[in-house]
Chain A
Amino acid sequence: MENALIKFENLSKIYKIGETEVHALRGISYSIHGGDFLAIMGPSGSGKSTLMNIIGCLDRPTSGKYFLEGEEISSLDRNNLARIRNKKIGFVFQSFNLLPRTTALENVELPLLYSNVSSKVRTERALEALASVGLKGREHHRTNQLSGGEQQRVAIARALLNDPSLILADEPTGNLDSKTGAEILEIFKRLNEDKKITLVVVTHDLDIANYAHRRIYLRDGEIIKED
């Protein structure tokens, strides 16, 4: 029996906005295996971001179970979720989410600030990560001196820093032109094929969707199609 990296059963998420209840996710179940490249697609409001937030341990489901590497996440407290985010998960966002007025190196180092690693090792690893996304030599440029594509690469390098088993990307090419977007896809391909990192990407970008091993389509909080 293959052990799935990620497994969720009957995941539901309900938000209360004032008096109304919004059912963002309605009883979703799915498994993702190590080394998979999964694309999540669907119209806005379909629950894609909510699902990503739960997978990424930024949020907890209202009901249902979520297993990451066999550990049940749904019942953990805020601090434990933070620990898992630090050690096992890397995030890449549509709007890059780098610290402003900060150098690329400092941005990449950020995750290791919150773990027990010496500053020397931290800097070494950060430099390696930056090199692996092709940004060697740009370490000391500040965020506002980097182009969109370069910023996204810094974000990816940051996501790689702790050797995570999983990288989550929410519309990573949404703010980039098609040429830069293709470069980012190349990096993703390399990470998935060479380093066997599991990738879960929410995207509208068909190139990414076509390259992915599997795709799931969400609408109104449910999976309506998978392939």
Chain B
Amino acid sequence: MNILRTLRVSLRALTRNKMRSFLTILGIIIGVGAVIAMVSIGEGAKKGIEDRFNSMGTNLLFVSPGSRNVRGLHTGSGGFDTLKEEDAKAIEQQCGAVKYTSPSVSARAQVVYGNKNWNTSIQGTGAMYPEIRKWEMAEGTYFDEQMVRAAAKVCVLGSEVKKSLFEDEDPVGRIIRIKKIPFKVLGVFKSKGESGGWFNRDDMIAMPYTTNQKRLLGIDYIQSIDVSAVSMAKTQEAQRQIEDLLRIRHKIAPGAEDDFTVRNMAEIAEGAAQSTQIMTLFLGSIASISLLVGGIGIMNIMLVSVTERIREIGIRMSVGAREKDILLQFLAEAIVLSLLGGLIGIGFGVGLSKFVHFIPIFASWKTVVSLSSILLAFLFSGSVGVFFGFYPARKASKLDPIEALRYE
């Protein structure tokens, strides 16, 4: 019996019992759908992170205190206060591959305007921050070098803070209070949008780092330095120059551990991408378990089906069906079932990934449905059919025709 004929016979047998066929493949549909949805959410998260990093610029470097060896932030030799603003100035002036630096001092605080208040992140930065971070103003201006030197009480709002405190009112020129100190609003950042979904990048206020240091926190060190290299190609060179310079400035003996860490954007981006990859793999594996269960469901139903059709198998054998014919017929039924389930599951999974956008909490999550995951899911569901359908098919083919015909 050739392949086409076997398929037609199997299809015929399956359509005789549509409800049962559907219930059988429900497991596969859910399994494949879940895998596709999980993977596309994971891929979307990865892409979101990639996009975010790309929008920040690939010539970005970060200098932070503490050595790299310990994964936490403020441990290791040097502790948390080893960076000073003079370091940032020196880097900008003396490292040829460096274009701008912007020291960073952050804290959280309550911000008040009129009868509204809002808890947000206060980012103390240098004057070149918008250039380094490629972040434009929606209105107003950023503070300049002079204001930084003077530790002026000025600030720039992120679009989310602007919405919360001012709603539709124009904030430029207004006074807001942070820890009871009055600050004049100079401008509002353009909205960066939320890709990645875990925190809102527009929920912050920028002010001169000197202001944050002296007037709000009372410290004399800086928490990190944002650095932009002259070009993407020069990023590695810039990294080396910064490291050499700081070792000299911090008087670190050759071979001794650094009390700072320089990271370039590419590294960080890669690290984030890797961890999302792991998360995607993890989610996908969990979803695959349901695929396994779906396969067991198929085996179950095929066994029941074989038992129910013992008489029919006997009839087929009596008119000349050989073991191979019966085996192929039932195996084909299992494979058709699982492939059908796979196809519907793929549609279900793709639909689910699109549907995610309609759920408010997840609205910002990107999803990416890749062709390779679809193909993989299809092949996988096919092999589930082969694997789990084989045992029942074999059982059917080994029946004795006489006993099969006698079966009630």
Contacts and interface: CB of A to CB of B under 8 A. Distances in A.
B359 to A, nearest CB: 44
Interface in B309-335: 311-312, 314-325
B321 A114 contact: yes
A113 B1 contact: yes
Given A110-B316, A113-B1, A78 B322 contact: yes
B9 A113 contact: yes
A216 to B, nearest CB: 21
Contacts of B325: 114
A101 interface: yes
A85 B315 CA distance: 11
Contacts of B16: 101-102
A43 to B, nearest CB: 19
A98 B16 CA distance: 15
A114 B401 contact: no
Interface string B196-211: 0000000000000000
A86 B319 contact: yes
B405 A97 contact: yes
Contacts, number: 61
A141 interface: no
A128 interface: no
Contacts of B316: 110, 114
Given A97-B311, A99-B312, A101-B16, A114 B402 contact: no
Interface string B114-128: 000000000000000
A85 B402 contact: no
Given A97-B311, A101-B16, A115 B320 contact: yes
A115 B9 CA distance: 14
B134 interface: no
A82 B321 contact: yes
A87 interface: yes
B71 interface: no
B317 A82 contact: yes
B5 interface: yes
Contacts of B312: 99-100
B318 A97 contact: yes
Contacts of A188: none
Given A97-B311, A101-B16, A111 B320 contact: yes
Contact of B315 (A78, A97, A115, A119): A97
Range class of the B interface residue count: 20 to 34
A83 B321 CA distance: 8
A58 B318 contact: yes
Interface string A35-79: 000000000000000000100101100000000000000000011
Interface string B217-249: 000000000000000000000000000000000
Contacts of B319: 85-86, 91, 110-111, 114, 158
Contacts of B1: 113-114
Contacts of B320: 82-83, 85-87, 111, 114-115, 162
B322 A53 contact: no
Contacts of A158: 319
B322 A82 contact: yes
Contacts of A82: 317, 320-323
Interface string B2-27: 00010001001000100000000000
A93 B317 contact: no
A37 B316 CA distance: 26
Interface in B392-406: 401-402, 405
Interface in A150-198: 158, 162
A113 B5 contact: yes
Contacts of B321: 82, 113-114
A91 B402 contact: no
Contact of B322 (A59, A106, A114, A162): A114
A125 B314 CA distance: 23
Given A97-B405, A114-B1, A79 B318 contact: no
Contact of B405 (A87, A93, A110): A93
A202 B171 CA distance: 104
Interface of B: 1, 5, 9, 12, 16, 311-312, 314-325, 401-402, 405
| Ranked 3 nearest A-B pairs via Cβ | A86-B320, A111-B319, A82-B322
14 contacts: A58-B405, A59-B402, A78-B322, A79-B322, A82-B317, A83-B322, A85-B317, A97-B405, A98-B315, A99-B315, A106-B12, A114-B316, A114-B321, A114-B322
Interface of A: 53, 56, 58-59, 78-79, 82-83, 85-87, 91, 93, 97-102, 106, 110-111, 113-115, 119, 158, 162
